Amino acid sequence: MNPELLQRLRAQFGWPTADSTPVENTQPGCAEPLTLLGAPADYRAIEEGRLGAYDIGLIGAPMDLGVTNRPGARFGPRALRAIERVGPFHHLHKIEPMRRRRVADLGDAPMRSRYDLNLCHADLETTFAALAAAGCRPLTVGGDHSITLPILKALGRDAPLALIHFDAHCDTEGPIDGKKFHHGGPFREAVLAGVLDPERTIQIGIRGAAEPCWEFSYASGMTVLHMEDVDALGVDGVVARARAVVGDAPVYVSFDVDVLDPSVTPGTGTPEAGGLSARQAIAALTGLAGLNVIGGDVVEVAPAYDPSISTALTAAQMLFEILCLMTLAPDQPAKA
């Protein structure tokens, strides 16, 4: 070994004495509170009107009254808060989002009833409208995918948003059992409400036997990439198509964990075989850096169906990837 190199390494990285521990690098251990991505907690910010203190608000939406198959996604926020060792540094983007933006875990969105889907949606819209008014961009953990509808209604009030949607299902179905507000139709209702631009919407990873339900996606002009399209295009091709579809418009990123193969994320309500790998999904999200991402969500984590915690761990990673996209988005203020 080069003696000069060894001396430089000792000078730069060595400890002052053999048994000293650099206190500033000590890990906090198990005493820290559990929060989304380890962000600082401010669970009373909504109630006390402090939303303007943050650029990005991590928030739970523990509601699964809109599921058509297996329930349990109401426990998604709790499961992701229990995940550690995701972030804080992104080795490809070369950033620590929480050093560049004012980020906090705002707790769970307040909802008055655990039994009334419409009332839950109304409460979610009220909460996310408050975030939008304060300039705090939301990044949400569901909950079932129906939560995205009130979020889009709140964020798209002034102008319809673009959408990058990762999912096994298009979620543009009509009423089920006489109800139109369910997790199979939020994007149909968002378009009809005038808060989502279908021609600037791309849906990635679609597959399974529900294909006849997605007529609205094609009729409205959405771009639909089935899994065979993903295979043919490759991740780079998918990213290029997504960037072309949304352009420089304000875009919302919605990630349903059932877009991933159930070998990776079995803990979800409507698993479909043959999905994306975690590596493909991370690469696709990483490739979207620089888009004007104004919000996002990770939904449909139902931890009871996955004793391995693989689903929650992978979902937390996707949440971190979207946080990085929001951090790198234009028109974001620097951290004060």
Would 20 be classed as within a structural domain?
no
User: Whole-model pTM?
Assistant: 0.93
| Contact (CB, 8 A) for 256 and 233 | no
Half-sphere exposure of 270 (CA within 13 A, CB side): 23
Closest alpha carbon to 137 in 319, 296, 313, 298: 296
Q: How far apart are CA 303 and CA 296, in angstroms?
A: 20
pLDDT of residue 22: 57
Give the total number of structural domains in the chain.
Answer: 1
Q: How many CB atoms lie within 10 A of CB 218?
A: 13
Query: What range does the domain containing 157 cover?
Result: 38-328
Q: How many CB atoms lie within 10 A of CB 330?
A: 9
CA dihedral (146, 152, 157, 159) positive or negative = negative
Strand positions, DSSP E, 87-236: 103-108, 137-142, 161-166, 196-206, 223-226
Would 21 be classed as within a structural domain?
no
pLDDT of residue 30: 62
> What is the chain's pLDDT, residue by residue, as a tens digit (336 residues)?
899 999 999 899 887 766 655 566 555 556 678 999 999 999 999 999 999 999 999 999 999 999 998 999 999 999 999 998 899 999 999 999 999 999 999 999 999 999 999 999 999 999 999 999 999 999 999 999 999 999 999 999 999 999 999 999 999 998 787 777 788 899 999 999 999 999 999 999 999 999 999 999 999 999 999 999 999 999 999 999 999 999 999 999 999 999 999 999 999 999 999 999 999 999 999 999 999 999 999 999 999 999 999 999 999 999 999 999 999 999 766 665
CA dihedral (221, 246, 130, 114) positive or negative = positive
Would 124 be classed as within a structural domain?
yes
pLDDT of residue 115: 94
pLDDT of residue 240: 98
Would 69 be classed as within a structural domain?
yes
CATH number (domain holding residue 65):
3.40.800.10
Would 2 be classed as within a structural domain?
no
CA angle 321, 284, 63 (to 5 degrees): 55
Strand positions, DSSP E, the chain: 56-61, 103-108, 137-142, 161-166, 196-206, 223-226, 251-256, 293-299
Would 26 be classed as within a structural domain?
no
Would 158 be classed as within a structural domain?
yes
Would 67 be classed as within a structural domain?
yes
